[in-house]
Structure 1
Amino acid sequence: MPKKGGNKTRINADFTLNDSANAPKPVGRVKKSVKPDANPVASWEDLEDNEYDVLEEIDTDGNSQLLFVKKQNSTHTSDEVFEGVVYPEIVWYLISKFVKPEDVGKFALINKATYAITKRESFWRQMYYKYCKNHPRLPEKLKIENSFVTYGLRQRVIRGLFYTYRKFFQSTLQNIECSPHKLIRRRCVSVWYCKLRSNWSIFFKLKRQTVDQKLSVDKINFLQELGRVDANPDEGCKVLQVTCLSLNEVPPLMGMALCSVNVSLTQGLIHQRVNLGFTSGICNGVQNIVPERSIVIDSVLNMNVYDWWHPRYPFSDTILPSAMKDEELAPVLRHDFFTPLNGHKYKL
């Protein structure tokens, strides 16, 4: 008996390169019924003359070669300008009330209006009242309820957020930078130490160098400076805390730049030894600088690096701008301070 079945139709089409050599996947066997290619490869006879430009290229040997370059569509030019919607500033001001602390940077990058809003006193006071006010962890020196000073308001609120805002506070507990090698090429602002129960802590305050930090008295407008919400004297500063067992003397290093850091083990392989090299010159972009003075700290227990916004950063009240010359630029160290006395070198 003949088999029952539907009518089968076969498609006879040409076998093209897209079915073998130009196929995206290896082809082991061609099917009996092959559908025609949706985008067949055009032959040279099918190409129009207006679609391509013929260019002649001559190489160094003097041989010429013809190149066929497809013409650009004149209807779509790269100089087209698409006009967008410009919202009034009041719209961005209302949206700023719902901006979270971790999204302030993204909000300021939207346009000029949002950037200007983040420079206003009302924006940071609103951020303070929403996340910092009456919080039990907020220190007394960071409270601004009864303060009408606008100078440095932004950095005070940011410091307060790292005490009160949960996401920021947890980041300070989990991510503590311990490597001092990233502080190279920073200039020392101050050095101090404090006595703990059974050890000592030495603090090095290092500031990122800028091209020109000198301010002329004639160019300073103190009324404008007093109204700067974004003023931050500690911008670009980090503090290196070195905790050690004993302390002899801390030499003055103000004005010198950190150029080398060496961390090794002591002879007993119990504690670390830190060798800090300082130079009085400028070491921007220069590597392998020979330090003018070296400080060796033995019996080191641990090292921590704190940014200016970290709760453990030694923060003092914001000082108003001064018209005096920046003392951080020139070294105040005597040339013969590190000269060995009686054959002994300074060692901490």
Structure 2
Amino acid sequence: MPKKGNRKRLKFRAGDVCSESVTVADYANADPAVVKSGRVKKAVVNAVEKEVKLLCGLEASQGAVQEVLSSAVSVTADALESSDELDPEDGENETKVARKKKNKRRKESSESSDGEEYPVDIWLVLSSYIRPEDVCRFALICRNAWTVTCTAAFWTRLYRRHYSMDVELPFRLQPDCVDRMRCLRARVIRSLFHLYEPFALRVSKIPALPESTPTTLLNSKCLLFWVKKVSGTRPEAMWEFNFKFIQQGHSKNGSAKSLRMPRQYEDVHNNPDSDCYLLQVTTLNFIYTPVVMGMTLSLFTINVSTDMRHHRVRLVFQDSPLQRGRKRGEQGGTQVVLDPVHSVRLMDWWHPQYPFSCA
């Protein structure tokens, strides 16, 4: 295909046009380089006008001549437009122009939808009317709203708004302890599961052992392990085995660091139990178990006990975490078998019965 600069422009003269040389094919196959804008040159118009007068004998009827010329010019323009569409270079130019116009419209629409930015004081006033379950939605409105949810004033007001003397709270969740800056957010959230009725109902509906427990605890690191003797309905005392896990890849206060928490609010959001779970297994008698602190859980199963009346819990720990997409065999790990088992519970860090460690 010849380059655009090498195209030969056609030159029309009035004397070159006659009845035998002017055809419809000349306009249909016209070179786009003749008239780029789609308009016919004046020389061509005069030649066609003269030829039409000679053929139709319309020297005295200028109106009819203009009508014939307008139809001829329209045919020529349509032919030129169709030929422009077939030209790939012209198509690329039109695409670029269309993209520029589209980007300009998007920029104008974005500039018009920016809105206004309100100061933090206004968001702090609005936060006094936010329900506990809507705190996350409120923080996602804008950066200033999120900054308000980081302040100690926000969490203190939320606690005082729902506090009631009729509800029995643990000592660490009493008003005197909540006034401390350190771990303020964690304390308020834990207290809401005692004070706020929708949260308390949510805890009562959570099953003791969710179906996703094996998947949740898989590849989790055991931070702490202890055994506690508890009294039950049986004449003999039962034993409670507690495993505190943290998900691999999560560090303490990792969420605050990822969001670039302001330095003055780091103590408010400090939570040593963040991303932690407590697996509580209650057995009918004491069972010797090896030390598994610092090891990674690679297998967790719950089966029926040999007496067909209780459960049997099996935990397999490894020295190193599992790589993503790979399965580790059961051989070579440290096994913990608890049988017979009376009950199994899995609790998040905000659960009312979770033994939190924040002082």
Q: 1:188 is matched with which residue? A: 222
What letter matches 1:247 in structure 2?
Answer: F
CA contact (8 A) 1:188 1:204 kept: yes
CA contact (8 A) 2:222 2:295 kept: yes
Cα displacement string for residues 212-233 of structure 1 (whole angstroms, at most 9, x for unaligned residues): 77x9xxxxxxxx6896100000
CA contact (8 A) 1:54 1:69 kept: no
Q: 1:269 is matched with which residue? A: 308
Q: Which has the higher helix share?
A: 2
Q: 2:32 is matched with which residue? A: none
Q: 1:331 is matched with which residue? A: none
Q: 1:313 is matched with which residue? A: 354
Alignment match of 2:268 (pick from 209, 222, 229) = 229
Q: 1:150/1:71 Cα in 2 relative to 1: closer, same or farther (>3 Å)?
A: same
Q: 1:174 is matched with which residue? A: 205
Does structure 1 residue 240 correspond to structure 2 residue 274?
A: no
What CA distance in whole angstroms lies between the structure 1 residues aligned with 2:310 and 2:78?
Answer: 81
Cα displacement string for residues 160-181 of structure 1 (whole angstroms, at most 9, x for unaligned residues): 0001100000100011350430
Q: 1:150 is matched with which residue? A: 181
* Identity percentage of aligned residues: 29
CA contact (8 A) 1:151 1:225 kept: no
Q: 1:48/1:105 Cα in 2 relative to 1: closer, same or farther (>3 Å)?
A: farther
Q: Tell me the CA shift for residue 149 of structure 1.
A: 2.2
Cα displacement string for residues 64-92 of structure 1 (whole angstroms, at most 9, x for unaligned residues): xxxx9898475442444232222222221
Q: Tell me the CA shift for residue 127 of structure 1.
A: 0.6
Structure 2: 5+ residue runs without aligned partners?
1-76, 89-93, 255-262
Larger Rg: 2
What letter matches 1:174 in structure 2?
Answer: K
Please say which of residues 225-234 and 168-177 is displaced more in the overlay.
Answer: 225-234
Please say which of residues 264-273 and 180-189 is displaced more in the overlay.
Answer: 264-273
Higher normalized contact order (CA 8 Å, seq sep 6+, divided by chain length): 1
Alignment match of 2:343 (pick from 302, 306, 309) = 302
Q: 1:54/1:234 Cα in 2 relative to 1: closer, same or farther (>3 Å)?
A: farther
What letter matches 1:188 in structure 2?
Answer: C
Q: 1:102 is matched with which residue? A: 133
Cα displacement string for residues 7-63 of structure 1 (whole angstroms, at most 9, x for unaligned residues): xxxxxxxxxxxxxxxxxxxxxxxxxxxxxxxxxxxxxx999948x95587xxxxxxx
What CA distance in whole angstroms lies between the structure 1 residues aligned with 2:78 and 2:316?
Answer: 74
Q: 1:256 is matched with which residue? A: 295
Q: 1:107/1:225 Cα in 2 relative to 1: closer, same or farther (>3 Å)?
A: closer
Indicate the SS of the match to 1:145.
helix
What CA distance in whole angstroms lies between the structure 2 residues aligned with 1:55 and 1:188?
Answer: 69
Cα displacement string for residues 301-327 of structure 1 (whole angstroms, at most 9, x for unaligned residues): 2211000000011124x24xxxxxxxx
TM-score by length of 1: 0.65
What CA distance in whole angstroms lies between the structure 1 residues aligned with 2:304 and 2:79?
Answer: 75
Q: 1:212/1:95 Cα in 2 relative to 1: closer, same or farther (>3 Å)?
A: closer
Q: 1:119/1:287 Cα in 2 relative to 1: closer, same or farther (>3 Å)?
A: same
What CA distance in whole angstroms lies between the structure 2 residues aligned with 1:139 and 1:226?
Answer: 25
Indicate the SS of the match to 2:123.
helix
Q: 1:232/1:71 Cα in 2 relative to 1: closer, same or farther (>3 Å)?
A: same
CA contact (8 A) 1:187 1:258 kept: yes
What letter matches 1:123 in structure 2?
Answer: F
Q: 1:48/1:253 Cα in 2 relative to 1: closer, same or farther (>3 Å)?
A: farther
Over aligned residues, Cα RMSD in angstroms?
Answer: 3.1
Q: 1:40 is matched with which residue? A: none
Q: 1:299/1:86 Cα in 2 relative to 1: closer, same or farther (>3 Å)?
A: same
What letter matches 1:192 in structure 2?
Answer: W
CA contact (8 A) 1:132 1:138 kept: no
Cα displacement string for residues 283-338 of structure 1 (whole angstroms, at most 9, x for unaligned residues): 2524421241111111112211000000011124x24xxxxxxxxxxxxxxxxxxx
Kindly report which structure 2 residues correspond to 1:209-224, keeping only aligned pairs within 5 A, or say none.
209-210=248-249
What CA distance in whole angstroms lies between the structure 1 residues aligned with 2:132 and 2:204?
Answer: 18
Q: 1:328 is matched with which residue? A: none
Q: 2:115 is matched with which residue? A: 84
